[in-house]
Structure formats: C-alpha cells, structure tokens
Chain A
C-alpha cells in the first residue's frame, strides 16, 4: 500500500474526488460542445438529413453544455480549494512553485472569467462553445504536461 500513502493526508481524497468528477463533467460538456459545433456547421452549410437530424436543437445542446460547464466549474473550484489545503498541510504553502498547481489556478481564473463574461459579452453560441472547448483541451494538455514534469 506504499503507492497510496499520500491518501493518509485528509485533503487528498476529497481533492481527487472533486477534480476527477469535475474532469468527467468537463469531458461530457466538451463532447456536447463538439456535437454543437458539428450540428451548427451542418445547419449553417445547409446540410440537412441523416443521423444528425435526430439531435436536439442548438439551443438545447448549448443549454446542457452550459449547465455541465457550471457544475464542472463548481467541482473544479472545490478541487482547487482542497488541493490548496493539501498543499498547505504537506508543504506549508497554499500554492507551491510547481506547474501543476500554478497552471490549475490559472485555468480556474480563465474559466471564472469566461463564465462571467460569456453572458455579458455575448460569447454565446458558436464562439462561446468554441472557447470552452479550447479551454478544456488546454486543461488536458496542461495536466498531461505537468504529469510529465
């Protein structure tokens, strides 16, 4: 059980659960975003018929996508907080000088700003969903990169 010794820290398990759940929700939201972009491309380019006709309307897909994004963000936030707690109890600092923690914090700020401005700046529809999908891909790249360093 040497491998899971880090779980002895009380912050570790909640942190992992929140981050993992958040990522799963972001992943579903990302998939919905891709479906939206493809559907939207087809409608815009007058391609009607086939399997895509069975999909819900753009408005419905976008609403579901946004709901998931907000729920995922809540879990991500809880993950950041518990991550900070874990870092504090392990190193004495809320944020250590490593890319994973700084990157995650930067991404959290990015999502917070994006979710706030999405409505007020009219980042809805195609542009809003494209930005959120790019954000998700950035999270994946960052986490993969941080794991390797």
Chain B
C-alpha cells in the first residue's frame, strides 16, 4: 500500500494556474470518481480551496498512478507534463501524512494560524464520504488529521491575535468599546488601507459610518461603497465630536489634528472615549494628542507592530506544532510499516509452504502434465489468497489504530514470522 499525495498551492503555483484546476464540491466529486475509476485507485480524497488543490490516493503501486495523476493535473491546467511538474509537489507515505497534518493545522496556509482551512478540510472530507471515494485507510487517516488539527487550533495559541491591519484595528476597538454596532465611525480622507480598516469594522456590524474628504467627489464614491454618509470637510472638529472611532488618511504636509483641537472635542464629548487610527503619512494627528485622557491613538506603524508581534508569536507556536507533527508521523510510519512487513512475511511464509507441499505432491504424482501442474498451482494460490484476504484486510484497517501493532505482533507470534 502506498499513500500518494499530489498537489499545488499558493507557494508553488501562481493563481492563473490554480484557478484552472480549482473545483466546486460537486465538480470535485465527479473529478475524484473519474480518476478513481480510470486509475483503479483503492481510495481517493481531494481538497480544493483558493490557495491549494491536492489529491490524496491509496494505491497498491505508487509509480503508475503518479504519472497518470500528473497528466490529470497537466490536462486540467492546460499545461504540458514537463511544465506542470514545476508547479506541483508529490509526497508519499509519511511525507504525505506530514503534509496533510501541516495543511489542516494551517502551518502551510498563506496566513499562518488561520482556522478557515480546518472547516474547508472538514467539508472536503464530508464530500469524499458522501461520494464514497474514501475507504478504511483514508477515513482513519483523515479523521486522525482532523482531530490533530482541531487539537492544535483549540489547545495552542497558533490562531491567537490579529494578523492584518484591519483586524488589529477591530481588536483594539473591541478592547475599548463593548460593542461596535452602536458606535459611530468617521473616515477622514481615503486610501487602500483606510478602506481595509473600514471594511473590517463594517464586517463587525458597524452601521453608522461617515466619510469626509477634502475632495467631496472622492468621499461620495467611497460613501456609496460603504453605505455611509458624507460630511463637509471644513467642519471636521464637529464630526469628531459626534463619532467614537476616527480613521484619518489625509495626504497633508503636517499634522492636522492638534492637542488644542482634541481638548475642545473631548470637552464637548464629556470625555467619552475616542479611538483614533492615523493612517496618514506624514501623520495626520500630532504626537501630543497621544497622551490625552480617554483618547487612544494608533498610527500605521503601531498597527503593523501588533501584526508583526502576533506573527512572530505564531511562528514560535508553529515550531512546537511541527514537533508534534513529527511525533505523530513517526508513530504513523512505525505502525503502517510494521503492518506492511508482517503482511509481506506472512505471504512469503504461505508461498514457501505452498511451494514445498506442491513439490512433494508433484514428486508423488509423476504422471501429471505441465498444464495440470499449473492448474493445481493456481488453485493452491487461490486458496491461500482467500484464506489470507480477511486477516490482511483487517490488519491493514487496524494499522492506524493503537491495537494495530498489537495485532501485527500477535500474527507474527502465531505464525512464527521472523523479520
């Protein structure tokens, strides 16, 4: 038995290639069934997300399905076979299992520690179950993978903290305000990052958004996108009094918002907390404002610093998870390899006994013709195969369980098999 994994992801293939092979669940089911039939694979599983497309197969012999699988990848992406080899990776047995664990635990994701992949993995497995493309080996393997990834996500801090400027802004806002739904947000200016931050806040249920810009047309365009109100830029201190979160992203030569403005504004606000995000460069908010009571100012560097800190913390946790994966895969290897050796030894012993007994029988029955001898040999082989079929299948199924190695060692004792 060989576990074979062929795939491509955001690190190995550009989006132009990945988008050609990416499949909706229904199309993926059809695709997997087609490959399974054409290549006579025992079991097959596929994972298709925006960042990866992977096929995991259980085969009796790795070499022939591998080339055929590569051909499928080439055909789907409209590439030649040598071309597609640049974009795909191939893993076998332990390496394949290690890769699956890394993928499901999000160590291989574009954003380290994101938990979306776990849901995608679970859905893909459910689709494979519905399509009945998996069997005992992959079912056990994928269930173990999902359980492992679930433990990683729930028991480690791999997914803790925010890893984008927008989510950091939301996280900070939620540290200050208990809910964002009843809060008012003001965007002063425009810009890509400002839109990202505004989008992240809106996704958290913010309803009341106002936009002001020195160029009124720009404010109107953005207001349509975010279903926001537009305000006259000249009255900006008044709008700041009314809003709880202010995002500034103005292209100006010096800081617009000074300490004296904020003092007046905070007086009018009766000191209710004000969260300000300064995305302008040069900064739109004077550094003296930072120390004002109940005013929380973060600039783009502060937000990026939080992102970097979270990422470095996640990297540290990822190293621990890699060690856990190493342990898990070596246990798997030991278990599967041990079973494989037992099966080979058992088959060898049975073949040896058959050969010896046939030799004795043919010695006694000297009148047998060669074709008759061949028929008897085939009959004996069929009897042995049928007798061994169920124990070998059970042993293979049990190979990933804890009792698999126990069954294997008992079989060795019973049949006196020696490595």
Contacts and interface: CB of A to CB of B under 8 A. Distances in A.
Given A57-B176, A59-B177, A125 B273 contact: yes
Interface string A108-147: 0000000000010011111100000000000000000000
Interface stretch (B191-199, B306-314, B328-336): B306-314
A23 interface: no
Interface in B72-102: none
Interface in A55-86: 56-60, 63
Contacts of A127: 271, 293-294
B319 interface: no
B178 A48 contact: no
B273 A58 contact: yes
Interface stretch (B167-175, B355-363, B369-377, B401-409): B167-175
A48 B271 contact: no
Given A124-B271, A125-B293, A126-B294, A48 B176 contact: no
Contact of A58 (B175, B298, B306, B313): B175
B298 A46 contact: yes
Interface string B175-194: 11110000000000000000
B271 A125 contact: yes
Nearest to A48: B306
A92 interface: no
Contacts of A126: 293-294
Given A125-B271, A125-B293, A56 B298 contact: no
B271 A58 contact: no
B161 interface: yes
Contacts, number: 63
B326 interface: no
Interface string B264-278: 001101111100000
Interface size, B (range): 20 to 34
A77 to B, nearest CB: 26
Given A58-B273, A124-B271, A124-B294, A48 B309 contact: yes
A118 to B, nearest CB: 10
B132 interface: no
B178 A122 contact: no
B288 to A, nearest CB: 14
A70 B177 CA distance: 21
Contact of A57 (B175, B267, B271, B298): B175
Contacts of B310: 49
Given A49-B313, A125-B273, A57 B178 contact: yes
Contact of A48 (B161, B266, B272, B273): B161
A124 B306 contact: no
A63 B177 CA distance: 11
A149 interface: no
Q: Lowest 5 A-B CB distances belong to which pairs?
A: A122-B271, A125-B294, A122-B270, A60-B178, A59-B178
Interface of B: 160-161, 168, 171-172, 174-178, 266-267, 269-273, 290, 293-294, 296, 298, 302, 305-306, 309-310, 313
Interface of A: 39, 43-44, 46, 48-49, 53, 56-60, 63, 119, 122-127
Given A59-B178, A122-B272, 19 more contacts: A43-B172, A46-B302, A48-B161, A48-B168, A48-B309, A49-B161, A49-B309, A49-B310, A49-B313, A53-B161, A56-B178, A57-B177, A58-B273, A59-B177, A122-B266, A124-B272, A125-B293, A127-B271, A127-B293
26 contacts: A43-B176, A43-B296, A44-B296, A46-B305, A48-B161, A48-B171, A48-B309, A49-B160, A49-B161, A49-B313, A53-B160, A53-B161, A56-B178, A57-B177, A58-B175, A58-B176, A59-B176, A59-B273, A63-B178, A122-B267, A124-B270, A125-B271, A125-B293, A125-B294, A126-B294, A127-B294
